[in-house]
Chain A
């Protein structure tokens, strides 16, 4: 399999995603410059975190117009092609309309960088096959705008279709206001599209790959999708 990590001007977790995929998991991975439209050869594309175009307008609002994003639409409609948007990558997927909803400023009005617990709500997706339902992962967040929001109908549809993949929880998997770091609706930390090939999440799995960094739970997400690609 082949993975690609998109690089926008201002991406800054691109090298970390490359490290996670290539150095830690041994996946053949390349950077994809934002002007590159030829992305057919990849099986998995990661849209990494960072501050694409400085995020001066609205997070991800400019990146969605990048040339590579034109191809992403088509890429996502193909069978066995997967997209993982992390943090700013998730925000870009929302701006591009590939996932529903929007991001608001954290309820604390502050940037938050720390480890959080997220509970796996749906373990039947290609990205969560190695987890058990209800399994709690310890993965860091680092964002200013991670307060997920959508209207009621959209939320009901997300829930009904099992598209809410991760929710902010405590270490035992209980979900409540105290376990919600940023004010996200329904404690949403990550959602997937109905076809199950586009996952957006605010926490950074690429930062939880080795025990020295505090957790290896991030591996499960990458390993799940790698395994799925290899088996299909």
Chain B
């Protein structure tokens, strides 16, 4: 065994992010000292990014089974049954650290990676969504990151021709140096054409396709598995460079190879590149793979096996074809201006064997590298400790004065960063290509037509880091509930989810507590709402110089509408009845109101009754199916008043006329809780007068409260509050064009 004569010292082990006990495991596995190439392979495969060594035991709590599940976690993407012949593949992934260092390339390659995860399954990507987190929009760093991240996503998605149909952008100080860039891709696949990342058939050739390998991104996976420091910010070589045109060619070539039945198994060379793709494919097939480094196409001269195995150059795929079909593979690739290079073969011995210039430079059994059940796999069994900050996190309501200027508060909130319009972001994305986008971005969920099928898909990405910080369990549960609600208000039945779990350093027991509790919350919500998890991504070590980010689990939800009955969030016609589905409680904690008006990040986070949530969502879907609901909008950030304002002012961006509203509410709870509190499980809907009784019946059948609160019409938003407890009244009376202007300019000026 050669090893470039590099002696494996403690320092080198540390540089590879390997702990002492992990190195001991390596010695046990190999029964000898590893070569430097082997050390690199272990380091990459056992990085949190590839191994999930901290998270796996906790992730087992998530429900993963259900009647819609066709492919659960463990593959490159999950797949659900959509129709008799069609499956929907989807997954979300993070590209946080690369984006924090080099926002344009980091975000662009984030899109590229998740597209490949979907088309490697044999699916054609049809939609992208993004979930972004930045610090204060006025800060210098945010002004560096935000426009470039958006440009990077646009550059990649637009060029490949996959519409970016939805997403969310949230600003909190905790993301100042460690922004979050989570991207989700959805694709369609004929069930009989589904492909997996598996190596099969001893002697079958292992074929490399796509871009040549360069020195970019070496050790990207371990870069993503450590905290961002000034020191590793310098690790620009850990960031990859994007080539969306190559991706487009690779996409078309891969799908054509699949159509022609030339693929045995295929996997994107994503995190840890050639290493993870070959090891994971071999592990799934319980076989080995032998690779010849000399055959790998290289972009730079003098690259050695270590660099080639760990490079994260983008737009590369590894595939297995049947022996003898190499020529046919080459022909397809040639059509697309690409090459197929046989760089190895499937072998019986379940080892990853790397040869360079005729010599073996690595020879490692596959199972302990990739199988978390293997006795030498470095699985961490941790227990969280409840963080100290959670002891004194709730607000004393008595200290918050009851406002007497509710109109000013609404104006301030509607222009605040987390509520204001984000059209300058999503209009930089081509959100219409493929001509399936029936509901544009900036809505509760995107609605996409599946051509040739009697089917619409509604999809949404959601998460609330502040909620999860203040109450990890509820934050996790609400992320699922809100994503499902956003899908339901379009008329779709939510069927499955993918999650991107953004947390700090898991080795800190207090962070681990956040993780455990958030997962418990997500698991409970996913069970009750019948939306199992098909896979996702864990992103730990999201910490900057100011400490860990808020724990931020993001949920990407997919739902189905059979037929074509769907609605949008904005008021449709004048003289319609406005109804509130659900009940407002006296809950102010964790709200945008507390943050923006009182400068407070305090709990308690609103309660979530998952059974009630399920009933509320069923009610809205039944109403839409019955064809009597004309608009539906989830009440979330900023509460009832903001949601009403959004119903009045979001039509124009979607090509329709904005319509005002007249609201009258009698209440005995605090006026700020009523208008700006973020009580869960509430939806604003409109029906025409003639359908009001039918809607009431549907609500009664589902045992949920439905209250008539006003009617649509005019060019003003008028809210009259008759406050029983104080025997007084207050009102909002504002032109919707004024609201619209403030809303349009809150964030768009920073993009």
Contact = CB atoms under 8 A, between A and B. Distances in A.
Interface of A: 9-10, 12-13, 15-16, 19-20, 23, 49-51, 53-56, 110-115, 138, 140, 142, 144, 204, 206-207, 209, 212-215
B245 A112 contact: no
A28 B158 CA distance: 29
B428 A9 contact: no
Interface centre among B151, B424, B433, B654 (most CB of A within 10 A): B433
Contacts of A138: 655
B431 A51 contact: no
Contact residue range for chain B? 20 to 34
B72 interface: no
Contacts of A204: 432
A113 B428 contact: yes
A142 B432 contact: yes
Given A10-B248, A20-B435, A110-B428, 16 more contacts: A9-B245, A9-B248, A12-B160, A51-B248, A54-B243, A111-B154, A112-B427, A113-B431, A113-B432, A138-B655, A142-B433, A144-B158, A204-B432, A207-B433, A212-B449, A215-B655
B245 A51 contact: yes
Interface centre among B161, B249, B336, B428 (most CB of A within 10 A): B161
A54 B159 contact: yes
B435 A111 contact: no
Interface string B157-168: 011110000000
B22 interface: no
Contact of A213 (B336, B435, B564): B435
A221 B173 CA distance: 50
B655 A111 contact: no
A12 B124 CA distance: 13
A214 B435 contact: no
A49 B434 CA distance: 11
B435 A51 contact: no
A113 B430 contact: yes
Interface in B346-370: none
B244 interface: yes
A112 B434 contact: no
B750 interface: no
Contacts of A20: 435
A232 B567 CA distance: 44
Interface string B706-745: 0000000000000000000000000000000000000000
A212 B438 contact: yes
A51 B429 contact: no
B192 to A, nearest CB: 21
A178 B564 CA distance: 37
Contacts of B249: 9-10
Nearest to B147: A110
A204 B158 CA distance: 14
Contacts of A206: 435
Interface in B124-173: 151, 154, 158-161
B240 to A, nearest CB: 17
B259 to A, nearest CB: 15
B336 A142 contact: no
The 10 closest A-B pairs by CB, nearest first: A12-B161, A54-B245, A51-B159, A16-B435, A142-B430, A212-B438, A113-B430, A111-B428, A214-B655, A111-B154
B437 interface: yes
A54 B244 contact: yes
B74 interface: no
A80 B424 CA distance: 43
Contacts of A214: 440, 654-655
A140 B433 CA distance: 10
B337 interface: yes
B451 interface: yes
Nearest to B155: A111
Nearest to A109: B151
A114 B336 contact: no
A147 B316 CA distance: 35
A219 to B, nearest CB: 13
Interface centre among A55, A111, A112 (most CB of B within 10 A): A111
Contacts of A16: 433-435
Contacts of B160: 12
Contact of B336 (A9, A15, A53, A55): A9
Contacts of B431: 113
A112 B428 contact: yes
B158 A51 contact: yes
B715 to A, nearest CB: 18
B161 A213 contact: no
A144 B249 CA distance: 21
B434 A15 contact: yes
B433 A12 contact: yes
Contact of A113 (B244, B246, B429, B449): B429
A13 B433 CA distance: 7
A142 B158 contact: yes
B252 to A, nearest CB: 8
Interface string B436-456: 011010000000010100000
A205 to B, nearest CB: 11
Contacts of A213: 432, 435, 437-438
17 contacts: A10-B159, A12-B161, A16-B433, A20-B435, A51-B158, A54-B244, A110-B424, A111-B430, A113-B430, A113-B432, A204-B432, A206-B435, A213-B432, A213-B437, A213-B438, A214-B655, A215-B655
